[in-house]
Amino acid sequence: MQQRRFSRVMGYLKKVSFWAKHCPENHRHRQLLVKAELARVQKRYKRAMDLYEQAIVAAENSGVPLDTALSYELAARLYKSWQKPVIAETYLHHALKLYQRLGAHAKADHLSQQHQLANPERLSEVPVQPVKPVSGDRQNQILDISSVIQASHAIADEIELASLLGRLISLAMENAGGQRAILALRHEDELFIEAEADLHETPSFFSGLRLEEEQSKLPVNIVHYVYRTKETVVLSNALEHEMFMYDPYLRENQPRSLLCMPILYHGDLTAILYLENRESTDVFTKENLETLRILAAQSAISIENAKLYQSLKESEQEFRSLFENAVEGIFRTTSRGAFLSVNPAFSTLLGFSSPADFLAERSNVRDDCFQEQKQLKHFTALLQRDNRIHSLEAVWLKRDHSLVDVAISARRVASDDGGILYYEGSVTDISERKHREQAEQARLEATLARKKAEAASEAKSQFMATMSHEIRTPMNGILGMTQLLMRGELTADQQAQLQTIYTSGQSLLAILNDVLDFTKAEAGQLALDPHPFRLQEALDEVAAVVQPMADEKELIFDLQLVGATVSMTASDQPLMGDKRALCQILLNLCSNAIKFTGRGGITLRVTAPDSSISSLRFEVQDTGIGIAPDFHGRIFQHFSQADNSVTRRYGGTGLGLSICKQLTELQGGRIGFESEPRKGSTFWVELAYPPVEPCLVESDFASSVLSLTGSSVERPALQSQQPKLTPLSILLVEDTEINQRVAAGLLESDGHHVDVADDGFTALSLHHDHDYDLVLMDIHLPDMDGMETAARMRQHRNPVKANVPIIALTAALTTGEQQRYQQGELDGVLGKPLQYDQLVRLMMDRFGQSADNDYQEDSASEFEDLSGERSVPNAEHSKPDQPDGHQTESDLLALEVIEQHISMLGAEPFRELVTGFHDQYAQLFAELTASLTNGDSATAASLCHRLAGSCANFGLKRLQIEFKALEQQIHERSPDWQPEIEQLRQLYQQSSEQMQAWVENPVKSL
């Protein structure tokens, strides 16, 4: 039997499901109700609960109150069988109300008796005073269906929320007999008063008026009750109701009758309607309530529609405002690129006054905007491939055909079937960003160029310093041995020959100094050292150098003082300025004049143009070949002479005048010339030297010992002028044997006692054990350099030993090293090659020796600066004509070094030294090979440095270069060193064979 019933139910469910599929409005709730009953019978209570709820909602939406009541009743049966009586009673009450409203009184009484429910005589849980019963005919008369329908239509026609609310409260007062009405809307679980009206007044509307803040307008307690229960409250005499009689509004305003009704939309509270009558009781009857319910049902839908319309309108206004006021240009086009709309920013970006102005002139984004077709094709391809583009950079055309850089973002908007509805996007002006990027790129390029230039300048300066060192080291041997030989007994021819060698060496150093001076000037490293000086002293120094040069060419040299300069020199008025720079300028100009003058003479004229000794004009006038007008414009350029024939005939580097110009401008002066071909030239310099007090001019050890920025004027060392000194005890600290022999030989020939130390530790030991009068300290020493050695000597416990004079010897200096020596423990610095007459002057000045006045006057200005760069006549001026010589030099050997050693030491002693060198080389090379094999880079690099130095001392030029290169490679990479080791073995074998051949027969080897 049970099975048969179940089959019948399933058959009915199948039929209802078919109906529900084709007409869900009429049959969907019935399908759900049958499914719910099946689940209840099968004791699937949770499933049944969900289905009953869905059935109730579907029946309410379909407007079938009888099925809705049945759904509540059956749901109550579920909860009773599920042992949930409280929930069941709630559903039964809902069903009872629906049956009562439908007029099914018998069903309502049966349901009440069956479940022992109180017979509901009210429409809310709040007791309402009984209303006099009326007959059915009377009810029909009161409920004017036509009026209700008209009112519903009037409400349905309103779409604006404010108009709808005004119409609703007016109709409510008219149909219910209220004197005052308030309508509150629900927004996000809060109530806000939106409209208020009295019977004979126009409704008032509010915005954002919170119910909690307006307790003076209506009874808030009653409204909260309705909000919670969603039930209508009707009070026939509000002042006598026990639940609400203490409400502040009721006690103050004392309305006689009131009604508070919820307006529900699909069971959710949308609004609350409040009506009151201050004069009569029992105003709001059941008949009034039926009319208000109909109006409330219609108004709930209309309110939701109006709220939706208002929300859409606000959204449209918001987006319209964004569209109109956006900073970015916004556009919309058809699928073919035709513009549909643009915003003001878009039209302004392209130079139009308004969107209408733009659309009237330009119609298509493809044809009217892109400046380059390549960018248009790229834009179209990306949009078709990805359906969107983000920040694509392009160049667009403005109205005046100027260009603007833009970033485009766009997307394709498709319909449900995939068709293209339109394209929309935005355009941003990125011109400023592009300009900033270009400026930043230019700045980075300029910075990079500046760094490259600085690096190149630094590399050039370092190269020049290295070259200075490499050139001065052999020159030290040449000039030193020359001076040593000149001190012996020589014939007149031998003396002249040695003098020529010495002068040629000095000329070579002069060329080197010119190049170094120019390099420093070009790098901006030339600096002035202003000190008080006397003009006459500077002129005497210049004349002392220029006069022998003029005499050699049988020219007349005339020094003229004009005007105020006569009295100034006579009174020894000191001036403030850089005497070294002045002397160098005048020497260069005078040397040029002598070089290019064949007969006649030169004149050095000093005047004060403005009759003030603070501004001086120096003129160098000659009777030489002059300068053609075509070459006037580039006479002060570096490496420049009048033409190539001048260079071939007179020689020179073309740097002298360029250095003069830079030194003059560095002092804030002016330089120029006047010249005519075959009549001579006049070069002039104007410089300002303010006078100072004579007391500021001091002559102490600091001005006679080598200063860090002093100058010197070099002349050939004449044996007859060199004084003799009381023998001194001197410590020579030098690691190069050839330099040891030269310096020691010169000093010992003058009767001095010399001890030699080849490193810092040996020097400290000798310094501790002996009392020396002077220490000559090489800066670059192995293990411990000269600066540290000098510092340790200054720390000796014996004050006499700690204060011993220390003179540094160095061949090359950079600006950083100069600053370090300034801060060190040195009393002076001598440059290499060693000039013995300078060393003699220093020793005389330091130890209080006296010599003939002529020598002291002549040598007073012959000081060497820290870097070994001297203000000497340019080589092109002072170098005598020499016959062209020819010397063959081996690719492997520095033959001049080997020849110098043999000439100084003798062939047999040199052979002994070579034998010792081979032994030492074998030991060091074996250690180098082991270090490279074991990966000990630090030791290997140190051994390469030592081997390079040893090879250089013995003239193994090619080996020295290879070891230096290997030292650099060790710091940069770590490959397999076996090929390099084998190459060095072969190179050493070849070099040794050639050196041995040279030692045995030097003439044949040449």
DSSP 672-725: EEEEETTTEEEEEEEEE--B--GGG---SHHHHSPPSS---------GGGPPP-
Neighbours of 838 (CB within 10 A): 21
If you write DSSP's letter for every residue of 138-192 in order, what string do you get?
Answer: HHHHHS-HHHHHHHHHHHHH--SHHHHHHHHHHHHHHHHT-SEEEEEEEETTEEE
Compute the mean pLDDT over every residue in the chain, rounded to the nearest whole number: 78
Contact 468/811 with Cβ under 8 angstroms?
yes
pLDDT for res 280: 83
Tokens 């070009």 correspond to 522
Looking at residues 824-842, what average pLDDT do you find? 72
pLDDT for res 2: 67
What band does 405 get if pLDDT is binned at 50, 70 and 90? very high
Give the ranges where 852-936 is alpha helix by DSSP (H): 853-859, 875-878, 895-905, 907-934
What band does 857 get if pLDDT is binned at 50, 70 and 90? very low
pLDDT digits (tens, 9 = 90+) for 577-631: 888 889 889 988 998 899 889 889 999 999 887 655 578 899 999 998 888 887 7
Three-state helix/strand/coil letters over 59-106: HHHHCCHHHHHHHHHHHHHHHHHCCCHHHHHHHHHHHHHHHHHCCCHH
Q: How far is CA 937 from CA 268, 663, 968, in A?
A: 87, 46, 11
Q: What are phi and psi of 87, to 5 degrees?
A: -65, -40
Contact 172/296 with Cβ under 8 angstroms?
no
Tokens of 638: 């570096």
657: exposed, middle or buried (C-beta count within 10 Å: 0-12, 13-18, 19+)? buried
Considering only residues 847 and 349, tell me which one the structure prediction assigns the higher pLDDT.
Answer: 349
Q: Which helix (H) or strand (E) holds 558?
A: strand 556-561
pLDDT digits (tens, 9 = 90+) for 282-331: 888 877 788 888 888 888 888 888 888 888 887 888 888 888 888 889 99
Considering only residues 655 and 198, tell me which one the structure prediction assigns the higher pLDDT.
Answer: 198
What band does 102 get if pLDDT is binned at 50, 70 and 90? confident
Neighbours of 82 (CB within 10 A): 16
Q: Is the dihedral of CA 695, 701, 704, 708 positive or negative?
A: negative
623: exposed, middle or buried (C-beta count within 10 Å: 0-12, 13-18, 19+)? buried
Least confident of 75-79, 371-375, 557-561, 996-1000: 996-1000
Considering only residues 515 and 442, tell me which one the structure prediction assigns the higher pLDDT.
Answer: 442
pLDDT digits (tens, 9 = 90+) for 858-896: 333 333 333 333 333 333 333 333 333 333 345 788 777
Q: Is the pLDDT of residue 480 over 80?
A: no
Please state, in angstroms and rounded to a whole number, the distance separating the CA atoms of residues 143 and 124. Answer: 21
Pairing of strands 556-561, 601-607: parallel
pLDDT digits (tens, 9 = 90+) for 968-986: 788 666 566 778 888 888 8
Query: Which candidate, 782, 780, 808, places its Cα nearest to that of 793?
Result: 808
pLDDT for res 961: 85
Task: Indicate the residue type of 63.
Answer: G
Please state, in angstroms and rounded to a whole number, the distance separating the CA atoms of residues 510 and 588. Answer: 11
Terminal CA-CA length for the chain:
138
Give the ranges where 362-415 is alpha helix by DSSP (H): 365-368, 373-386
Looking at residues 20-39, what average pLDDT do you find? 89
Please state, in angstroms and rounded to a whole number, the distance separating the CA atoms of residues 89 and 910. Answer: 130
Contact 607/563 with Cβ under 8 angstroms?
yes
Tokens of 982: 């084998």
Contact 723/460 with Cβ under 8 angstroms?
no
> Helix (H, G, I), strand (E, B), or coil: what is residue 549?
helix
Considering only residues 346 and 481, tell me which one the structure prediction assigns the higher pLDDT.
Answer: 346
| pLDDT cut 70: percent of the chain above it | 78
Please state, in angstroms and rounded to a whole number, the distance separating the CA atoms of residues 635 and 651. Answer: 15
pLDDT for res 684: 94
Tokens of 911: 């052979």
For Cα atoms 582, 586, 590, give the angle at the middle one, nearest 5 degrees: 170
Please state, in angstroms and rounded to a whole number, the distance separating the CA atoms of residues 171 and 295. Answer: 8
pLDDT for res 549: 84
Three-state helix/strand/coil letters over 985-998: HHHHHHHHHHHHHH
> Helix (H, G, I), strand (E, B), or coil: what is residue 479?
helix
pLDDT for res 196: 93
Q: Is the pLDDT of residue 399 over 60?
A: yes
Residue 861 is classified by DSSP as T
pLDDT for res 339: 92
pLDDT digits (tens, 9 = 90+) for 717-764: 333 344 567 889 999 998 877 678 777 877 887 789 999 999 999 999
Give the ranges where 208-285 is alpha helix by DSSP (H): 220-229, 248-253
pLDDT digits (tens, 9 = 90+) for 122-176: 434 344 333 334 444 444 444 455 556 666 666 776 778 888 888 888 888 888 8
Question: Which residues 6+ apart lie within 8 Å of 839 measured at CB?
Answer: 746, 776, 807, 830
739: exposed, middle or buried (C-beta count within 10 Å: 0-12, 13-18, 19+)? buried
Q: Is the pLDDT of residue 401 over 80?
A: yes
pLDDT for res 558: 92
pLDDT for res 590: 92
Please state, in angstroms and rounded to a whole number, the distance separating the CA atoms of residues 295 and 169. Answer: 10
Neighbours of 784 (CB within 10 A): 15
pLDDT digits (tens, 9 = 90+) for 693-711: 665 554 333 333 333 333 3
Query: Which candidate, 584, 561, 546, 564, places its Cα nearest to that of 671?
Result: 584
Beta bridge partners of 204: 196
Please state, in angstroms and rounded to a whole number, the distance separating the CA atoms of residues 499 and 494. Answer: 8
What band does 1002 get if pLDDT is binned at 50, 70 and 90? low
Please state, in angstroms and rounded to a whole number, the distance separating the CA atoms of residues 187 and 185. Answer: 6
Q: What are phi and psi of 442, to 5 degrees?
A: -65, -40
Query: Which candidate, 736, 809, 818, 816, places its Cα nearest to that of 779?
Result: 809
Residues constituting the chain: 1006
Sheet holding 774-778, edge to edge: 753-757, 729-733, 774-778, 806-810, 828-831
Looking at residues 263-272, what average pLDDT do you find? 89
On whether the pTM is more than 0.85, the answer is no
pLDDT digits (tens, 9 = 90+) for 917-954: 888 888 888 888 888 888 888 888 878 877 877 787 77
In the chain, the largest separation of any two C-alpha atoms, in whole Å, equals: 167
pLDDT for res 792: 92
Cα 75 from chain centroid? 74
Contact 590/548 with Cβ under 8 angstroms?
no
For the chain, what is the radius of gyration of the CA atoms? 58
pLDDT for res 327: 85
Q: How far is CA 242 from CA 301, 354, 759, in A?
A: 35, 69, 118
Tokens of 559: 């020094």
pLDDT for res 319: 80
